[in-house]
Amino acid sequence: MKCPYCNHKKTSVIDTSHDARGGTRRRRVCDQCGRRFSSYERPILATPLLIKRDGTREEFDRDKLIAGLRVSCAKRPVAASEIERIAGEVEAELQQVGRDEVSSRFVGDRVISKLKEVDEVAYIRYAIVYLRLGDLESIRHEIDRLLSE
Ligand SMILES: [Zn+2]
């Protein structure tokens, strides 16, 4: 693997670890500049295509989901590992569906229910975007519903 700092072609693996999702993380050091970085390798299982609201299809994008979660969780006490966990669980649930296509709501609904248990502010932020809570009245309604639970 090439060094991301100096582009040197030879790097050495100094540590290898495996995680529960079948991924492999390798800590590497560049043979030329000596800087360290990690690489992550994981098996990619078949995930169904997501059918969007407008009827178009798109691939599930784990990075995009994580980016969305990060925005919702900005300045909230939610650990990066927690965001990774949510994205990982949603992806695993998606892979277990066993269909070629599912509604994109499948992803949104699962993210919402997991986020709700983690942080209510992050949940509301995500819900505003995902449920298109465009007006104050429906946002208030959602908050009231949360408070009464
Ligand atoms: Zn280097």
Residue 37 pLDDT exceeds 80: yes
Query: What strands lie across the sheet with 49-51, from one edge to the other?
Result: 57-58, 49-51, 101-103
Q: Looking at residue 39, what is its pLDDT?
A: 93
**Looking at per-residue confidence, does 98 or 28 come out higher?**
28
Residue 143 pLDDT exceeds 80: no
Round the average pLDDT of the chain to a whole number and report it: 89
* Residue 41 Cα to ligand 1 middle (Å): 20
Residues with CB under 5 A from ligand 1 (ion): 3, 5-6, 8, 30, 32-33
* Residue 11 Cα to ligand 1 middle (Å): 8
111/84 Cα distance (integer angstroms): 12
Q: Looking at residue 44, what is its pLDDT?
A: 66
Q: Looking at residue 128, what is its pLDDT?
A: 82
- 27-36, 38-47, 96-105 — most confident range: 27-36
141/27 Cα distance (integer angstroms): 48
93/128 Cα distance (integer angstroms): 23
Please give the model's pTM, rounded to 2 decimal places.
0.62
| H-only helix segments in 30-72 | 62-72
* Residue 32 Cα to ligand 1 middle (Å): 5
| 102 token code pair | 């599912």
35/11 Cα distance (integer angstroms): 10
Residue 142 pLDDT exceeds 80: no
pLDDT digits (tens, 9 = 90+) for 40-97: 887 766 789 999 888 999 999 999 999 999 999 999 999 999 999 999 999 999 988 8
Average pLDDT over residues 139-147: 78
